[in-house]
Structure 1
């Protein structure tokens, strides 16, 4: 059975940065990229707030650079999804979806988080046919059309302003009477003329036509949660931006996590409750959720893994 001093699960800013630091510490890390190689930043076009890129950089290019840097120092980066980790004894026995089994002296969990959906039956019906959780992935298909974004945080504000550059009109649907987004993002939304904010509204149903394999979304029915009044907006694209679920299912009952599934780490540390297992990035950070903070915790995790091994 294959062995490694350090196994890294995930390949976003946290995973790749952990790989850079672990490689330079001669831990010869193995990195499994997971279902979304490069993480959520691969669905982002322009990243303006990552230090070192004064003119900004495309998300996929940034992740490509981080991967190349990790590989330069010897990180073994592989396709594949880790399906199980036995945390009961060291070295930890790790199983991968292709049948590979690895014994790892330390494990760094950097599996990130996945977008949440509203849970509507009609939403599921139109996924891939008008409903999306990634404006930068699918916004191009709605150029010159009317679309809606659901949410009130930074993600929703970013999605709305991005779509406003492509679409004729963007409805920003929010169930409260004020946004949760940062002041800078709120200002940007307010100053974008083709964004209309629908305050105190919730989505009741997404409507359209389905003929065989062809789906054509043409509107959404909203309810004003103050008055109960219903209204229909005519749209062709519907983007959900209401938060994320940490990708921690394989660690349920194994590692300490909060009620929403985020891994709990020790204060000023990336160490979990199991010695030798560390967590970095969005999988343990529900407050900042930034590429730079994820990278920072990735560096911390690799340094702590090196020190743990002595």
Structure 2
């Protein structure tokens, strides 16, 4: 059985940053990532808000730069999926993978989230070609254009308010007759002239060939259809943290995000979480990098104490 000082689950910005800091400290590291390094940024066409890239950078290019930073270090990459983590006490963890079990003194959970989709035909194809799941990331690509947003919670309304400052028109689509968001957000929405609330309606068809050109919506009470002339669709129907494999005794939020303190430590000694999988407000590349660095520093101190 292979044994490491640290096993990092997930190869996105948080995981790669944690690996960099741990490797620089002299720890032995295994990174478990079933896909290519990069995580969510691999599906992001263009990133304009990452420090050091004032003109923006393509998501896959940023992922490649982060991965290149690790090339001078020796570590183990395992292209497998984590099935479960068995926490046996401080400094003793078993990580069960598809094909093997490995030992780890510390475990860094950087597995990220899966954004909930609408389930429309060709939704995956149009992601990055008109469909986005982050207004803060992608609103500038639609400056002066008309876009649609789907959702009824706080995130949907907050992101729509942000969009309204950049785009010409926001169609805010919600399947119910009232939003679930806080009342203060609902009042703000009412006073923004370029936001049109399309209530009791659902998105039913994506229109376009190689890029999104429109969105067909259906009014639920009567089945009436409407074609919205939009070039962008922002989906804010929630995200699902990838935490199905964590120990049962690990503290999770009601939405199953991992609860940590400000040093990225969990309730289980030697298990840390960083990036989007963590219970927090802001999920961005920059915050994932900060989480990864903080978690690695905490883990290094823990390793020194063993």
Taking structure 2 as the reference length, the TM-score comes to 0.76
**Could you tell me how far 1:218 is from its partner in structure 2?**
8.1
CA 1:163–1:222: 2 relative to 1, 3 Å:
farther
Structure 2: distance between partners of 1:7 and 1:40: 20
Q: How far has the Cα of 1:181 moved from its partner?
A: 1.9
Q: Cα gap change, 1:115/1:173 in structure 2, threshold over 3 Å: closer, same or farther?
A: closer
Instruction: Show the 5 A alignment for 1:118-197.
Output: 118=118, 123=119, 126=120, 129-132=121-124, 135-136=127-128, 138-139=129-130, 155-156=134-135, 162=141, 170-175=147-152, 179-181=157-159, 185-190=163-168, 197=195
Check the 8 A contact 1:164/1:192 in 2, yes or no: no
* 1:1-310 matched pairs, under 5 angstroms: 1-35=1-35, 37-89=37-89, 90-97=91-98, 99-118=99-118, 123=119, 126=120, 129-132=121-124, 135-136=127-128, 138-139=129-130, 155-156=134-135, 162=141, 170-175=147-152, 179-181=157-159, 185-190=163-168, 197-204=195-202, 206=204, 219-223=216-220, 231-234=224-227, 240-251=235-246, 253-266=248-261, 268-310=262-304
Q: Report which stretch shifted further, 88-97 or 236-245.
A: 236-245
Q: Deviations over 1:256-299 (max 9, x none)?
A: 01100110112x21111110000001111430101111101101
**Contact kept in structure 2, 1:32 and 1:82, CA below 8 Å:** yes
Structure 1 residue 241 displacement after superposition = 3.5
SS of the residue aligned with 2:255? coil
Contact kept, 8 Å, 2:8 with 2:31, in 1: the verdict is yes
Deviation at 1:244, TM superposition (A): 1.2
Q: Number of matched residues? A: 271
Q: SS in structure 2 opposite 1:95?
A: strand
The gaps in structure 1 that reach 5 residues or longer are 140-148, 209-216
Which whole-Å CA distance do the structure 2 matches of 1:20 and 1:91 have between them? 22
Unaligned runs of 5+ in 2: 172-193, 207-213
Contact 2:274-2:295 within 8 A present in 1 as well? yes
Q: TM-score, normalised by structure 1?
A: 0.75
Question: Could you tell me whether the CA contact under 8 Å between 2:147 and 2:233 is conserved in 1?
Answer: no
